[in-house]
Amino acid sequence: MGEIGTDLLRIGQIKFTNALPICHFIDRSSPHHTFLPGAPSELNAWLADGTIDAGLVSSFAYAQLADDFVALRGLSVSSRGPVGSIFLFSKRPLEELSGSTVSLTSHSASSVNLLRILLGEIGVQDVNYVTEEPHLHEMLKSADAALLIADHALRESVLDHGLYMYDLGEEWHNRTGHSMTFAVCAVPKRLVKEHPDKARAIQKLFLEGKRKGTADMESVIEAAIEMMGQTKDFWRDYFGKLIHDLDDELAVGANAYFDAAYRHGLLAKPVKLELWGDES
């Protein structure tokens, strides 16, 4: 973490379309904040090494850093059922992946660990996990299945590969009945304690961006089309699946995920989501 009393706070922002409903309208004119866009895995590493002070990161990365960070109330990337952009593309049905090689996108922390949990719960054993750049064709040259997230997953999801496709938000919901929170907005406990006004200012920037995005979804969709093409209906359907809120109810799903991650040996200790700030 940098010198937190200083005037400039560095804030991480997900560079993919899933965060556009929050990030498209963020006011970047503030002299006290600078925004650094990255893939989730980059943002996670930046939060851990102090390159950024706060921002959107994988919920799993938050869980690893939960001693030092809180999650801002009202902000997340979540789904209650299908998420539409987190897919396992597989040559075999999920239940038949024991002894297989599964290639994991290098961009994710939450989804790759969710996949480990889901396969573990189904009783799939002896999987050889490899982490690779998110290129489906390359990944499947040597793997039996490949996990992609975000824009890479969206792009492949509209093509016919003749592969089995599993939406991890849907698999998690079918299995547990819970929502799943993939990303949260993490802020250092030190900032909250020593400069609550600054933590509140970060939350307000994101919440105000989300409020504008919700009120003007057409502009958010235009921005998504500019990034990736597809039709307005495609984006309406996709953004309709995503939830960008974070409240006590969604925290139940996030905590169920953290519990499962701990049970499966993926987190070193039990973690509870610590929400901070007001939602408005």
Ligand X SMILES: C=C(O[C@@H]1C=C(C(=O)O)C=C[C@H]1O)C(=O)O
Cα 117 from Cα 140, distance rounded (Å): 21
Q: Does 86 bind ligand X (CB under 6 A)?
A: yes
Residues contacting residue 193 through CB under 8 Å, at least 6 positions apart: none
Cα 74 from Cα 278, distance rounded (Å): 8
Q: Does 76 bind ligand X (CB under 6 A)?
A: no
Residues contacting residue 169 through CB under 8 Å, at least 6 positions apart: 79, 80, 81, 82, 83, 84, 86, 180, 182, 241
**Which listed residue (72, 150, 261, 267) binds ligand X by CB under 6 A?**
150
In the complex, least distance from residue 140 CB atom to ligand X, rounded to whole angstroms: 19
Helix (H) or strand (E) holding 36: strand 33-38
**Pick 166 or 198: Cβ nearer ligand X:** 166
Residues contacting residue 116 through CB under 8 Å, at least 6 positions apart: 129, 264, 266
**Which listed residue (63, 83, 223, 251) binds ligand X by CB under 6 A?**
83
**Pick 154 or 191: Cβ nearer ligand X:** 154
Q: Does 184 bind ligand X (CB under 6 A)?
A: no
Nearest partner of 203 among 280, 98, 95, 123, judged by Cα = 280
How many other CB atoms sit within 10 Å of the CB of residue 99? 11
Q: Is 253 exposed, middle or buried (0-12, 13-18, 19+ CB in 10 A)?
A: buried
Binding mask 99-138 for ligand X (x = CB under 6 A): ---------xxxx---------------------------
Number of residues located near ligand X, criterion CB under 6 A: 18
How many other CB atoms sit within 10 Å of the CB of residue 197? 7
Binding to ligand X (CB under 6 A) within 208-237 occurs at none
Q: Does 179 bind ligand X (CB under 6 A)?
A: no
Q: Does 58 bind ligand X (CB under 6 A)?
A: yes
**Which listed residue (12, 21, 40, 277) binds ligand X by CB under 6 A?**
40
Q: Does 140 bind ligand X (CB under 6 A)?
A: no
In the complex, least distance from residue 258 CB atom to ligand X, rounded to whole angstroms: 14
The one segment of 146-154, 172-180, 186-194, 212-220 that binds ligand X by CB under 6 A: 146-154
Helix (H) or strand (E) holding 56: strand 54-58
Binding site for ligand X (CB under 6 A): 14, 16, 18, 40, 58, 77, 83, 85-86, 108-111, 149-150, 153, 182-183
